[in-house]
Structure 1
Amino acid sequence: MGRKILYGLAGAALLLPATAFAATNPHFDVETATRAYLDLLQGPARARSDAYFEGGYWLILWNAVVAVLGYVVLLRTGLSARFRDRAERIVKWRWLVPAAYALPFVIASTLIFLPWTIYTDFLREQHYGLMSQSFGAWLVDQGKSLGISIVANAILLTALFAVIRGFRRTWWLWGAGVMTGLFAFGALLGPLIAPMFNSYTELPAGPIRDRIVAMAAANHIPAEHVYLFDASKQSKRISANVSGLGPTIRISLNDNLLNRTGPDEVAAVMGHEMGHYVLGHVVRMILLFALVFIVVFGIIYRVAPAVIARNPRWGVRDIADPAATPVLALIAAIASLVLTPIQNLIVRTAESQADAFGLDAAREPDGFAKIAMRLSEYRKIEPGPIEEALFFDHPSGATRVRMAMQWKKDHVPGATMVKPDIKLDAK
């Protein structure tokens, strides 16, 4: 009941009591209707989906291992200390030394991790039929990301080492604040950076745009601009998103969603994205991840000085030395690995709330179920409960289809089970 009240206050006045239509739908079996959708994914297609997603479980571990090994290379070879020495020679002001250090640090880190990045982000995606780019085009995008990373790390390291120098006992709290601030700044600039990778245009006039605008108006969402972006040049994934913060916030959908799905599915997805907007998930996620940053920086505060003291050959003077950056990063990588289930829970909770909102806003339970099944091309459709809790940052397809069919039973007069009419891509 509390969730229904929340959604009502948020502007989703379409939600009706679960008992309103239950008496009129006594023969609608939620589990049977759910199974009709889940059984669409069979044989090689299901095996491929499961293999791709389950492989991602191991990637969580291996990403952390590769990160730790890469940062150890920077430390044991003395590269990090040399980057610091060079920065001190070329920069007059001490407070700018971390910014000068960031340039070689980010470039060297990127080159060390590049073979692993090529495997995880290009070859593996290509193997599972999810990659649309050529290797050359993919490298161009990686180059753009490198430039953004250099600027972001220069800002982060400048601010972080300033608080380490200025607040020796409480820098970890201030450091978490710095990280949260940069996170929020990145959210603010997201819509301005995205056109570096994709072309954004106004969604063409027509029934789909009209329905999106009507849904937005019903939920008091500004909808002067609805954006379409050409994600198909990079991937076959269906997606839409709420990006930005404050004056830059906007709702966008990609061309795969528009071209590969029906109007009911587009409405279901956009209802979900409007849920993120109305429920204030961008700000809420920043605040929740601020707590995660506090934990991570608290661990770094306790562990990093001892690690530095035990390894004098690295040439790192102390925690306030920019050359300590790889130490901070490798501890953060390990802490983030341990905290993965917590981070997934934060995101999954928000996604589930947006799912519920979207069903109320679009009133397309079968469209929502069809989208959940299409996402099974790269998301395991039916995990166990522990598996879903540990590894899923979105509700599983089975959870989403079941939610949609329960909503249909509770809110659609005379609800009947339909035979799903979609064809899932095996590759």
Structure 2
Amino acid sequence: MRHGRTMIIAGAALAMALPALAHAQGFDVEAATRAYVDTLHGAARAKSDAYFEGGYWMILWGALVSVATCWILLRFGLSARFRDWAERRTKRPALVAALYALPYIVTATLITLPWTIYAGYVREKHYDLMSQDFSGWAGEQAIGLGIGIVTTALLLAIIFTVIRRAPRLWWLLGAGAMTVFIAIGLLIAPVFIAPLFNTYSEMPAGPVRDRIVAMAAANHVPAEHIYVFDASKQSKRISANVSGLGPTIRISLNDNLLNRASPPEIAAVMGHELGHYVLRHIWWLIGMFGLLFLAGFWLVHRIAPALIARHGPGWRVRGVDDPAATPVFFGIATVLGLLATPITNSMIRTSESAADAFGLDAAREPDGFALTAMKLSEYRKISPGPIEEMLFFDHPSGETRVRMAMRWKADHMGEAPAK
């Protein structure tokens, strides 16, 4: 923490010194970028790199744990027992699939619990990224379990209904249903899901709010409500978002951003978030993920029947329209998701980079943007190689973002920030 405060102070001093240097000597983008990047050094940089690079292996191990869980549920007949239990309670196929989700999710959660505790709590604590004690973290996991049961029940009821009614084209209709399901989730999450984990309150009046409102108005973003949520109870990470769809659209920023960042930094972050809304990234990502769902469902449609034909009798899985086949679907989807990681990361990173460029134009705070990128680099590797960034980064790296900010600064030298 001491080094973190030192880095913030050094960065603020650097931000004040760079304009004078620029006017006096001409602005060197690479030198300015290096000056910012070098404020993260020594033990703090090694810790950030170790955390993020360890995350590469966490992706792989997480996928292996998920696949192993699916295998256990099939190999020991647990999935078939869950189906039998559901069928004893109702004869309606859609309700059978929905009821199946209860024991399925609970059992899978228990099997993966040691991994979940390590990945979600122990490792985060080890790297000083977790503010909660274990009971607080476990309580939120319990809330997530409840949400998972409900959403999985709805999803399985829809998917297996589609499979029964369109056995040849279920992959096509299923991909469409999944895309709509995700869109509905994005619609209701800000109102019904997010408040289960954090308290949201209207941002108090003041210069910071006034500037956010002015930027929103200048870019035609609804700003009737601007919320602050208490993310500091979970971690020290800074974040903000323009979330929701249609009537649920709202601007939110967490208390860490307000408490750890200066007004120029806050403006830079909010300019970025407004960019996501103006550039319609939520719709673009829904469309792109819809295409991925289409490819994924087609592959599941091709692979699952072969696996069930070969192993189904031992698993007591009757066919692809049997809810007991759920672990087969989830196992295949996990492997496909792992293989698609570079694609999904690149899709998201592309939209994030576009929002960065928009935010620089909207807020006109390149040094505020650079300082924010350095704060995010407390837990994101600051200077990856190009292939590493392409494969594993779903946001531009800190060095990439600082360089973008310094290029913007060089192109707009002497212009005043947006007010």
Deviations along 1:147-186, one digit per CA (max 9) or x if unpaired, are 1111100110000001111111111111111111111111
2:176 equivalent in structure 1: 177
Alpha-carbon offset, residue 92 of structure 1: 3.0
**Partner amino acid for 1:397?**
G
Q: 1:414 to 1:98 in 2, by over 3 A?
A: closer
**Partner amino acid for 2:229?**
F
Question: In 1, distance between residues paired with 2:272 and 2:61?
Answer: 32
Task: Say if 2:93 and 2:161, in contact at 8 Å, map to a contact too.
Answer: no
2:156 equivalent in structure 1: 157
Alpha-carbon offset, residue 222 of structure 1: 1.3
Task: Say if 2:48 and 2:378, in contact at 8 Å, map to a contact too.
Answer: yes
Task: Say if 1:216 and 1:222, in contact at 8 Å, map to a contact too.
Answer: yes
1:167 equivalent in structure 2: 166
Deviations along 1:313-364, one digit per CA (max 9) or x if unpaired, are 1000000000000000000000000000000011001100100000000000
Q: 1:205 to 1:335 in 2, by over 3 A?
A: same
Q: How many residues align?
A: 393
Higher relative contact order (Cα pairs below 8 Å, separated by 6+ residues): 1
Task: Say if 2:159 and 2:174, in contact at 8 Å, map to a contact too.
Answer: yes
Please give the secondary structure, in 2, of the residue aligned with 1:122: helix
Question: In 1, distance between residues paired with 2:145 and 2:184?
Answer: 18
Task: State which drifts further: 380-389 or 291-300.
Answer: 291-300
Deviations along 1:59-91, one digit per CA (max 9) or x if unpaired, are 111111000001100001101000001111101
Check if 1:319 corresponds to 2:323. Answer: no
2:60 equivalent in structure 1: 61
2:412 equivalent in structure 1: 411
Q: 1:92 to 1:32 in 2, by over 3 A?
A: same
Question: In 1, distance between residues paired with 2:111 and 2:293?
Answer: 26
Alpha-carbon offset, residue 413 of structure 1: 2.4
Please give the secondary structure, in 2, of the residue aligned with 1:90: coil
Task: Say if 2:97 and 2:157, in contact at 8 Å, map to a contact too.
Answer: yes
Q: 1:87 to 1:411 in 2, by over 3 A?
A: same
Check if 1:194 corresponds to 2:194. Answer: yes
Check if 1:245 corresponds to 2:264. Answer: no
Deviations along 1:261-305, one digit per CA (max 9) or x if unpaired, are 100000000000000011111111111100111111111111111
Root-mean-square deviation (CA), in Å? 1.4
Question: In 2, distance between residues paired with 1:42 and 1:347?
Answer: 28
**Partner amino acid for 2:409?**
K
1:78 equivalent in structure 2: 77
TM-score normalised to structure 1 length: 0.90
Alpha-carbon offset, residue 99 of structure 1: 0.3
Deviations along 1:2-25, one digit per CA (max 9) or x if unpaired, are xxxxxxxxxxxxxxxxxxxxxx99
2:345 equivalent in structure 1: 344
Q: 1:207 to 1:85 in 2, by over 3 A?
A: same
Task: Say if 1:258 and 1:266, in contact at 8 Å, map to a contact too.
Answer: yes
Question: In 2, distance between residues paired with 1:48 and 1:151?
Answer: 38
**Partner amino acid for 2:401?**
R
Check if 1:335 corresponds to 2:336. Answer: yes
**Partner amino acid for 2:397?**
S
Deviations along 1:403-424, one digit per CA (max 9) or x if unpaired, are 0000000012289xxxxxxxxx
Question: In 2, distance between residues paired with 1:103 and 1:26?
Answer: 67
Check if 1:129 corresponds to 2:115. Answer: no
Taking only the aligned residue pairs, the percentage that are identical comes to: 66
**Partner amino acid for 1:206?**
G
Question: In 2, distance between residues paired with 1:296 and 1:51?
Answer: 32
Question: In 2, distance between residues paired with 1:60 and 1:298?
Answer: 24
Please give the secondary structure, in 1, of the residue aligned with 2:118: helix
**Partner amino acid for 2:269?**
V
Deviations along 1:349-386, one digit per CA (max 9) or x if unpaired, are 11001000000000000000000000011100000000
Question: In 1, distance between residues paired with 2:133 and 2:280?
Answer: 37
Please give the secondary structure, in 2, of the residue aligned with 1:382: coil
Q: Which runs of 5+ in 1 are unaligned?
A: 1-23, 416-427
Check if 1:209 corresponds to 2:213. Answer: no
Question: In 2, distance between residues paired with 1:25 and 1:243?
Answer: 43
Check if 1:224 corresponds to 2:224. Answer: yes
2:99 equivalent in structure 1: 100
Task: Say if 1:25 and 1:409, in contact at 8 Å, map to a contact too.
Answer: no
1:386 equivalent in structure 2: 387
Please give the secondary structure, in 1, of the residue aligned with 2:241: strand
Deviations along 1:188-220, one digit per CA (max 9) or x if unpaired, are 111121001000000111110011011111111
1:364 equivalent in structure 2: 365
Please give the secondary structure, in 2, of the residue aligned with 1:228: strand
Alpha-carbon offset, residue 26 of structure 1: 8.2
Task: Say if 2:75 and 2:314, in contact at 8 Å, map to a contact too.
Answer: yes
